[in-house]
């Protein structure tokens, strides 16, 4: 197969990765920036490095996305392109409204929608087991664990000097934010790498039996995500760091530790979960320790609405895109 179509699909994958930076990379550092534990430049540099290293540990997630969602033997470059365009469109739409929707689920919804339009088999059992069930459970776990972690912190430091506690957790957030960014690299950089590998397999540039991911794919994915964060992540940062609830350093630390633990566990189980779901639900759980009214539930309701419509929204967009490509002779 000619190299030019492969380059076009890989470029689309990096465009998706760039919009992913608007969403999910912003999640990894939003709490640390909003609590002033880290300056934006330091946070971005740290996120870039942590994403890069995390990407090398995300092979299990990349395998799920590249081989466990649709039948890779029936996939085409047009299908890959349509899936990516559908995911990019959904990311841009929700970014415009400042809603932290899931780039991960937009990508998986795009793959599913394009596959159905192309008549390619979809691994429904894999989607239910590895995507839908974790999608439903991870916000619940994030809410409960975030609440428990913050309650523990409040109990342990109830007699400590407030100023010292704030300063101490501001330093601790450097570690928790790095852990969150590392977990994000394991999940999201690996997801994009999985789509690139799928395109390379379709184009006969990668052996489907080869279990390794080329170094250039991992490095490029991590770098492009970081560029996207710097370019447009501020809308999402404001929502996560201030609009849901105003965070202080102990709360930011509790939310990041909770989300990082969820991401690590999901990666070990080969589940491509949403960084957005993990950190947003953790923030809600942490905020509920003040009082339930402290969480701006109207903002949370808008976010949950975006979550619900991500799969069908990206899937329909991808299916429509594949239909257009089909009309112009691309298969």
Give the pLDDT confidence of 224-283 residue by residue, as tens digits. Answer: 877 776 665 555 555 555 554 567 889 889 999 999 999 999 988 888 888 878 888 888
Structural domain of residue 223, as residue ranges? 3-327
What does the pLDDT read at residue 24?
A: 65
Q: What is the model's pLDDT at position 225? A: 77
How many domains does the chain fold into? 1
| pLDDT reported for residue 301 | 65
Q: What is the average pLDDT value for the chain, to the nearest integer? A: 82
- Give the N- to C-terminal CA distance of the chain in Å, as an integer: 13
Say which DSSP state 205 is in.
S
Residue 299 pLDDT greater than 60, yes or no: no
Q: What is the arithmetic mean of pLDDT over 31-41?
A: 77
Best CA proximity match to 276, nearest among 245, 247, 303, 242: 303
Task: Give the pLDDT score at 61.
Answer: 83
Compute the average pLDDT of residues 201-217: 82
- Tell me the angle at which helices 59-67 and 190-202 cross, rounded to the nearest 10 degrees: 50
Range picked from 62-66, 176-180, 283-287 for highest mean pLDDT: 176-180
Residues 194/65, Cβ–Cβ less than 8 Å: yes
List the one residue out of 59, 61, 51, 50 whose CA is nearest residue 104.
61
- pLDDT computed for residue 131 by the predictor: 83
Name which of 127-131, 167-171, 259-263 the model is least confident about.
127-131
177, 54 contact by CB (below 8 A): no
- Residues 313, 109 contacting (CB under 8 angstroms): yes
* 173-184 pLDDT, tens digit each: 889 988 988 888
Look at residue 211 and tell me whether its pLDDT is greater than 80. Answer: no
């Amino acid at each position: 197969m000619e190299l030019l179509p492969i380059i076009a699909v890989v470029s689309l994958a990096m465009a998706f990765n760039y919009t992913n930076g608007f969403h999910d990379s912003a999640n990894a550092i939003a709490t640390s920036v909003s609590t002033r534990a880290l300056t934006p430049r330091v946070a971005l540099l740290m996120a870039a490095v942590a994403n890069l290293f995390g990407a090398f540990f995300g092979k299990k997630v990349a395998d799920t996305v590249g081989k466990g969602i649709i039948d890779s033997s029936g996939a085409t470059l047009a299908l890959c392109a349509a899936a990516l365009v559908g995911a990019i469109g959904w990311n841009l739409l929700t970014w415009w409204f400042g809603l932290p929707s899931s780039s991960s689920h937009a990508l998986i919804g795009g793959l599913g929608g394009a596959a159905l339009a192309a008549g390619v088999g979809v691994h429904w059992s894999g989607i239910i087991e590895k995507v839908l069930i974790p999608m439903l459970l991870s916000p619940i776990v994030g809410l409960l664990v975030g609440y428990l972690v913050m309650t523990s912190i409040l109990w342990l430091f109830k007699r400590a000097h407030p100023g010292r506690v704030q300063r101490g957790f501001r330093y601790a957030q450097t570690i928790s934010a790095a852990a969150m960014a590392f977990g994000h690299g394991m999940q999201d950089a690996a997801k994009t790498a999985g789509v690139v590998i799928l395109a390379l397999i379709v184009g006969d540039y990668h052996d489907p039996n080869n279990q390794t991911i080329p170094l250039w794919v991992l490095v490029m994915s991590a770098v492009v995500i970081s560029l996207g964060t710097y370019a447009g992540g501020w809308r999402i940062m404001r929502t996560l760091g201030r609009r849901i609830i105003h965070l202080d350093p102990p709360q930011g630390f509790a939310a990041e530790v909770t989300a990082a633990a969820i991401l690590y566990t999901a990666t070990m189980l080969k589940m491509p979960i949403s960084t957005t779901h993990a950190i947003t639900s953790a923030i809600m759980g942490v905020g509920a320790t003040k009082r339930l009214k402290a969480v701006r539930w109207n903002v949370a309701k808008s976010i949950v609405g975006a979550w619900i419509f991500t799969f069908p929204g990206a899937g329909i967009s991808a299916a429509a895109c594949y239909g257009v490509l089909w009309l112009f002779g691309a298969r």
